[in-house]
Amino acid sequence: MMCVSFYMIFIHSFFAVTSQNDQKKSKADDKKNEDFECPHSTGNGNYADPATCKRFYQCVDGYPYVNRCPSGLYFDDISKFCTFKNEARCGPIATTPGPVTEPPTDLAVKCDPAECQLPYCFCSKDGTLIPGGINPEETPQMILLTFDGAINLNNYDHYRKVFNHKRRNPNGCEIKGTFFISHEYSNYHMIQELASEGHEIATETISLQSGLEDKGYEEWVGEMVGMRDILKHLSNISKSEVVGMRAPFLKPGRNTQYKVLEEFGYIYDSSIGVPALPIPVWPYTLDYKIPHECKSGTCPSRSFPGVWEVPLNTHYVEGFEGGHCPYLDQCVLHNHDAEDVSEWLQEDFFEGLHKFLDWVITLPDVWFVTTTQALTWMTDPKPAKQLNNYEPWDCKKRDNLPPAPCKLPNKCALSFKRPELNVTDTRYLETCNECPNQYPWLGDASGSGIPGKDNYVPDNVRK
């Protein structure tokens, strides 16, 4: 056994039929962006649209991204957020910024182990420190099986073969995984079945749009919190059980995404890729600066105390065989041609995975756990010899899981029109609940058919 104790297998659902092509911006928005110039004196931030209070611009590294306030709300150029019309102070409101003589004071600083103590904070200089100072030989090796995207007939059978009710951890409990769900093409009957068996359900986003890393607060709220609401409406999964998320294409949304995580009660994110390193990086809280290079270039720069990051450790072998890949299905063998690689991804990948899983479960100190189970251990680390009776990893049925799904789900054929396209299409989904009036989407997670129905309020400001 290696002494490294935290090993993560991130499996991307390339079998899911998901819409991941780049979404082109409308010509009108492009024209607006060309006309608006970000102020050089004040840098990144939100700025009023001179033409209307219903829009504003988010300036990121000198480029303006147009954003629209939710229906019925207007941009307040003093508070810099959308609010009710009678409260909004329309802009642009002239300001006279002082000269910038010092660096920003809200940037995260390097880890201070003396100030950062479990269970609420965890950091180390390079991310490799074992929590609780446990010796490597006494530390359990945790494997996280995580999957991205839609769940449907294209991949469900593969998941069932991985989680076949026969593979078990050293305490006799069935192995579990974590699923980061995107909406389009998902089967919510299948999702409820996985959740009812104790697999962790987390959110990706509703639309899986590219470029979300450069969007504003409202867009991230609609995508993340809206996806959590869809899971509640269609899979009966309590919102309190959905505590993790992953950004599309592993492109975290700078500080904006993490502000949404913080304000809407998420516990962790798992979007940040780690460079190829011989020793994997442990999860850490974002009280301090991240302890490694940011591969995406869109990591948070501020401190978000208590919010956990579960990084994606890149595949690493000394000879770099297989390439540098945070997702296993992205790994390639350099001496294989395109046909060989395709065959490996489609067939040998899962055959090899099953052989690996069957080998691992013969080892005495290796555990397959959900992301939340791994973080629970990190907040109160226990040596491997104590884990057979460790309650957070036992097989007891939790009361807050959704019930087992119905035998005959409703098969819903629903009209769907992307806002950026003038074409109405049909989307299909299965759920044990009543079929929605319309295909759920951004602004209407319940599928009521009322555009812009959702108007989310952060959990920390609810009355």
Tokens of 360: 């691992």
CA distances in angstroms from 440 to 231, 356, 388, 428, listed in the order given: 11, 39, 43, 11
| Tens-place pLDDT, residues 393-449 | 999 888 889 999 999 999 999 999 887 778 889 999 999 999 999 999 999 999 998
Cβ neighbors of 277 (< 8 A, separation 6 or more) are 292, 313, 314, 316
| Tens-place pLDDT, residues 181-232 | 999 999 999 999 999 999 999 999 999 999 999 999 999 999 999 999 999 9
| Tens-place pLDDT, residues 252-291 | 999 999 999 999 999 999 999 988 788 889 999 999 999 9
* Residue 25 pLDDT exceeds 60: no
| Tens-place pLDDT, residues 230-258 | 999 999 999 999 999 999 999 999 999 99
**Predicted confidence band at 14 (pLDDT cuts at 50, 70, 90)?**
very low
Nearest to 254 by CA among 427, 63, 53, 52: 63
| Tens-place pLDDT, residues 129-148 | 999 999 999 999 999 999 99
pLDDT given at position 20: 35
* Residue 305 pLDDT exceeds 70: yes
**Predicted confidence band at 24 (pLDDT cuts at 50, 70, 90)?**
very low
Q: 103-108: long-range contacts (C-beta < 8 A, 24 or more apart)? A: 106/302, 106/303, 107/289, 107/301, 107/302, 107/303, 108/286, 108/287, 108/288, 108/289, 108/290, 108/300, 108/301, 108/302, 108/303
Query: What span, in angstroms and rounded, lies between the C-alpha atoms of 200 and 218?
Result: 26
pLDDT averaged over the chain? 84
Query: What span, in angstroms and rounded, lies between the C-alpha atoms of 427 and 360?
Result: 40
Which range has the worst mean pLDDT, 48-52, 92-96, 334-338? Answer: 334-338
Domains and CATH numbers, the chain: 6-19+106-393 (3.20.20.370), 43-84 (2.170.140.10), 410-461 (no CATH)
Nearest to 435 by CA among 417, 403, 411, 407: 411
pLDDT given at position 327: 63
pLDDT given at position 112: 95
pLDDT given at position 8: 55
**Predicted confidence band at 92 (pLDDT cuts at 50, 70, 90)?**
confident
| Tens-place pLDDT, residues 343-392 | 654 556 678 888 889 999 999 899 999 999 999 999 999 999 999 999 99
pLDDT given at position 347: 59
Mean pLDDT of 99-111: 65
CA distances in angstroms from 123 to 220, 227, 374, listed in the order given: 27, 30, 16
Higher pLDDT, 356 or 338: 356
Residues above pLDDT 70, as percent of the chain: 80
* Residue 27 pLDDT exceeds 50: no
pLDDT given at position 318: 57
**Predicted confidence band at 72 (pLDDT cuts at 50, 70, 90)?**
confident
pLDDT given at position 275: 83
Full strand arrangement of the beta sheet holding 63-68: 45-48, 55-60, 63-68
* Residue 127 pLDDT exceeds 70: yes
Higher pLDDT, 301 or 79: 301
